[in-house]
Copies of this chain bind each other. A is one copy, B any other.
Amino acid sequence: MTTTDARTVGEDLRQRVADFLAEHDHTTMDRLEFLRARFDAGLAWVNFPEGHGGLGLPRALQGQVDAQFAAAGAPDNNPRGNGIGLGMAAPTILAFGTEEQKKKFLRPLWTGERVWCQLFSEPGAGSDLAAVSTRAVREGGDWVVNGQKVWTSSAHKAQMAILVARTNPEVPKHAGLSYFLCNMDAPGVDVRPLRQITGEAEFNEVFLTDVHIPDSQRLGDEGQGWKVATATLNNERVAIGGGAGGRESGMVGVLAKSWREHPERRGVGQHDKLLRLWVDNEVARMTGQRLRQKLAAGEPGPEGSAMKLTFARIAQEASGMELELLGEDGLRAGDWTMKRPQHVDFTGRDAVYRYLRAKGNSIEGGTSEILRNVIAERVLGLPSEPRVDTGIAWKDLPR
């Protein structure tokens, strides 16, 4: 598509949204009805195909549409409340779902009627996701699922889940998995808060006991679960690499503000370290800017994984340094009460919270160790780790 074409398409789309808004008065219409109508008009995610909330247009045009709806004061689908659904479940359902599955699940997902969560990680399968031991056994038209999942955000709010389970333990571990769409209100689904070192519980453990899932909610072929899950996780990586703030964003901004506003906190010998962190943060901003320019120019760069490493390190060092600068105030925490936070604000709350929560930055969404492997192998072309589990049936692996 040339630039001229793109401009025309953009103008057509703008007109289409204007027409929609003219025909649907959000000030009088029921919010949900309005959202459903927007979906049906292909203005939900314009890069999706027609009939599934989209128009088959470039993803880049979505921002324009969202901005136009927002400018008109129209209600949105609260995307922050359904990040896993929108960012991970939806593209996977689109890619691997049957026509019936797409029809059934995509619209309520987009409108937010159904919030989704992700039942992937297990106590014994963290970085090594293919090692999941949650079993799904076929019984008639259903699969009966037993097992334990962990690190599930939103599980206590979700109506649906994407689930990876083992359907065949007799084959090597990657080959014996299948992928399911699981109703969270099904009998046998037990969601328990998982308390973190901050005192609160962002995440959950989910215990699955004889949970029945109809075979019609299997996504992709039996045994194809690893492939489907990989597609889901690639969408996650895109989501993480995407965000980047401006100068003094993140924890360094908090630290710089504290330094400026409180001369009494300025520690002897800590000035150069502060400046190093400031420089690292600013270089990360520049690197992110270049990454976005490359993506926009159709040259996807491999820097995304590297940036996640950098962000985690900076957040951890800056928040650790902040406590040192605080001195007697650094010894005081905000609150250890077990709570379920509404959302996670890495740079919000108190300094002790920031320090502790930042420890998760190098674990969640791919540990820094795994990311270094990924960079070394996929970007630098270095050999992969010696594997001892290749070709061995899952049931025979040491655990």
A: residues with CB less than 8 A from B are 269-273, 275, 386, 388
Contacts and interface: CB of A to CB of B under 8 A. Distances in A.
A275 B268 CA distance: 12
8 contacts: A269-B271, A269-B272, A269-B275, A270-B272, A272-B272, A272-B273, A386-B386, A386-B388
Nearest to A272: B269
Contacts of A273: 272
Each complex incorporates copies of this chain amounting to 2
Contacts of A386: 386, 388
A42 B248 CA distance: 73
Nearest to A270: B272
A388 B388 CA distance: 12
Nearest to A276: B269
Given A269-B271, A270-B272, A386-B386, 5 more contacts: A269-B272, A269-B275, A272-B272, A272-B273, A386-B388
A254 B209 CA distance: 68
A388 B386 CA distance: 9
A386 B275 CA distance: 42
A255 to B, nearest CB: 17
Contacts of A270: 272
Most buried by B among A270, A271, A275: A271
A269 B272 CA distance: 5
A300 to B, nearest CB: 33
Contacts of A272: 269-270, 272-273
Nearest to A267: B272
A306 B209 CA distance: 50
A319 to B, nearest CB: 20
Contacts of A271: 269
A299 B272 CA distance: 42
Contacts of A275: 269
A96 to B, nearest CB: 35
